[in-house]
Amino acid sequence: MKLPHLIASLMLAAGLASPALAAEAQAQTQVDPAKVAELSATCQACHAADGTRGLSANPILQGQHAEYLLKQLLEFKSGKRVNAIMQGMVAALSEDDMKALAAFYGEKKPVPGASQNKDTVALGEKIYRGGVVDRRIPACAGCHSPNGAGIPAQYPRLSGQHAEYTEAQLVTFRNGERANSVDMTAIAGKMSDKEIKALADYLAGLR
C-alpha cells in the first residue's frame, strides 16, 4: 500500500474508532449520584456534608485535587499511610468508590480561610516563599505554587486548610509517623515547632 493510502486508511480507522473509545471512556467516568451520596454520607461526621469547614483536626476536602485525594485513599487502604480511622473507613471501598469520592470533593469550589496569629504571619510567609536557606529548607511555593493551589496528584492544595490539621501533618512527617512522602519527611525534619506553627497558620489564610 502506498504511503498516502496508508495514511488515509489510518486516519479513517482512527475516525471510526474515536467515537467508540470516547463512549467507553465516558462510561468509565460516569458516576451514579445516588452512589456518591451514599458513600459521602459516611464522611460527613468528620469532614462536613460537602467536605468544607468541619472539625479543625480533620482536613478540608472541598476543592482538593481529585488525583491527590485518590492517592491518599489508596495509600490508606494499602497501609502506606497509617491512620486507624481512615484505614477503617476505606477498608470496604473499591477503587471505583474512591475515584467517585475523590471526584465528588475535588469538583467543589475551595473556600478561603484566615490566619489567626498576626505575630507569626511574616515568619510563615517567609518560609513558604523563601524557605530557610541555612538549613536547606526549600520554599513551599516551589511545589505547592505561590497561591497554595498545589499540583494535581503530587502536591495538595494547602491554601485555606485548617491550621491545626496542617500543623499536625507536618509534625507527623517530622516524627516519621506519616511516611508516604520522602520529601516532606526530610523537609519537616528540619523545622522547629515555632516554624511549623507559623507556616500552618499562614497557609490557613493564603489565597
Mean pLDDT value across residues 95-124:
95
Confidence band (pLDDT; 50, 70, 90) for 32?
confident
In a domain, 77, yes or no: yes
Confidence band (pLDDT; 50, 70, 90) for 53?
confident
Same domain, 181 and 138: yes
Confidence band (pLDDT; 50, 70, 90) for 31?
low
Contact partners, residue 92, CB within 8 Å, separation at least 6: none
Instruction: Give the per-residue pLDDT at 150.
Output: 96
Same domain, 143 and 196: yes
> What residues make up the domain containing 37?
33-106
pTM above 0.95, yes or no: no
In a domain, 113, yes or no: no
Give the separation between CA 54 and CA 46, rounded to whole angstroms: 6
Confidence band (pLDDT; 50, 70, 90) for 33?
confident
Boundary-marking domain end, from 41, 75, 106: 106
Q: What is the pLDDT of residues 139-188, one digit of tens each?
A: 999 999 999 999 998 899 999 999 999 999 999 999 999 999 999 999 99
Rama region for 116: left / alpha / beta (φ>0; ψ in -120 to 50; rest): alpha
Give the separation between CA 191 and CA 174, rounded to whole angstroms: 8
**Closest Cα partner for 158 from 107, 108, 202?**
202
Same domain, 126 and 168: yes
Instruction: Give the per-residue pLDDT at 189.
Output: 98
Same domain, 90 and 146: no
- % of residues, the chain, pLDDT over 90: 75
In a domain, 9, yes or no: no
Residue with cell 475523590: 102
Instruction: Give the per-residue pLDDT at 100.
Output: 96
Boundary-marking domain end, from 106, 130, 151: 106
Same domain, 198 and 125: yes
Mean pLDDT value across residues 190-197:
98
In a domain, 1, yes or no: no
| Domain harbouring 60, CATH code | 1.10.760.10
Same domain, 38 and 64: yes
In a domain, 196, yes or no: yes
| Domain count for the chain | 2
In a domain, 64, yes or no: yes
Same domain, 140 and 66: no
In a domain, 5, yes or no: no
Average pLDDT, the chain: 87
Boundary-marking domain end, from 76, 106, 136: 106
